Amino acid sequence: MTKRVAILISGSGSNMVSLVKSMTGDHPARAALVLSNNPDAAGLAKAQALGIPTKVIDHRPFGKDRAGFEGALLTAVTDAQPDIICLAGFMRILTPDFIAAWEGKMLNIHPSLLPKYKGLNTHARTIAAGDREHGCSVHEVTAELDGGPVLGQTIIDVAADDTAESLAARLLPLEHDLYAKVLRRFAAGDRSKIITRA
Ligand code: GAR
C-alpha cells in the first residue's frame, strides 16, 4: 500500500519540493497534502504547481489559543488521511498532545548536527562557536524540541571564511537530498541511520 504523506511548511518550501519530486515511480509514498500556517508561504504556489492539494491554517487569528490552532491543524491534517507527516521548515512549535497523536509517524529536518544547536539560528551559532563541522539532521519528532531519534545526518566542513549565510546556502541542497533519502527509507519501514559527509 502506498503511504500518504502530509508536508507542513511555513516558508519557501524548498525541502517540500524536493520531497514531492522524490515520491515517484517505485517510491513507497506519495504527497497527499501541503499545509502551511503562513498564508504567504511561497511554498504554497510551488505545491500547487506540482499538483499537490494545499491548505492554510493561519495561526495568527488564534492568538495565544495554541490548542485552538492545533485543533484546526489536526483536523486539516487528519482529513488528508496521511500515514506520515513531514515537517519541512514548519516554524511553529507543536504541543505534546499533537505530537503524541503522530509519534513514530512524524519527521523533521533541522539545520544542525543534532543534538547540537536545537532551536533557531543554527548557522550563526556554529560560526560563533568556532566549530569545524556543521550539517543537517532528519529526525523523528518527539515531545522534546528537536530531540527525537536521528535518522540521517549530512556533515560538512566549516571553512575559515564561512559565514552563517554561506553555510545555509551550502547546506540547503544537502538537506533536500538527505530528507528525500530518509523519507524513502522511513516509508518502507527502515529506520536505519544514514550518515554522509559531503
Ligand atoms: C531549512 O533550512 C530547514 O532545515 C529549516 O528551515 C529551512 C526551511 O527551508 N528548519 C528549521 O530551522 C526547523 N527548526 P525550506 O522552506 O526552503 O525548506
Question: Over the stretch 125-141, which tens digit does the pLDDT of each residue have?
Answer: 999 999 999 999 999 99
| Residue minimizing CA distance to atom 7 of ligand 1 | 89
| Residue 119: Cβ within 10 Å count | 11
Quote the ligand 1 centre to 62 CA distance (angstroms): 23
As a whole number, mean pLDDT of residues 10-31 equals 98
At residue 72, the pLDDT reads 97
As a whole number, mean pLDDT of residues 59-69 equals 95
At residue 60, the pLDDT reads 97
Quote the ligand 1 centre to 11 CA distance (angstroms): 8
Backbone angles phi and psi of 103, in degrees to 5:
-60, 140
Q: Is 147 in the pocket of ligand 1 (CB under 6 A)?
A: no
**Which 8-state DSSP code applies to residue 57?**
-
Q: Is 53 in the pocket of ligand 1 (CB under 6 A)?
A: no
Q: What is the percent of the chain with per-residue pLDDT over 90, rounded to a whole number?
A: 98
Structure-block grid coordinates of residue 194: 544514514
As a whole number, mean pLDDT of residues 155-175 equals 98
Structure-block grid coordinates of residue 31: 504527497
Quote the ligand 1 centre to 148 CA distance (angstroms): 17
Question: Over the stretch 100-113, which tens digit does the pLDDT of each residue have?
Answer: 999 999 999 999 99
What does the alpha-carbon distance between residue 143 and residue 89 come to, in Å, rounded to a whole number? Answer: 18
What is the distance between the terminal CA atoms of the chain, rounded to a whole angstrom?
34
- Which one from 59, 110, 123, 176 is the annotated catalytic residue? 110
At residue 147, the pLDDT reads 95
Quote the ligand 1 centre to 150 CA distance (angstroms): 16
Q: Which residues pair with 134 in a beta bridge?
A: 156
Question: Over the stretch 27-63, which tens digit does the pLDDT of each residue have?
Answer: 999 999 999 999 999 999 999 999 999 999 999 999 9
31 CB contacts (<8 Å, ≥6 apart)? 5, 6, 7, 19, 20, 23, 47, 50, 52
Catalytic residue status for 139: no
Question: Over the stretch 81-99, which tens digit does the pLDDT of each residue have?
Answer: 999 999 999 999 999 999 9
Q: Is 11 in the pocket of ligand 1 (CB under 6 A)?
A: yes
100 CB contacts (<8 Å, ≥6 apart)? 143
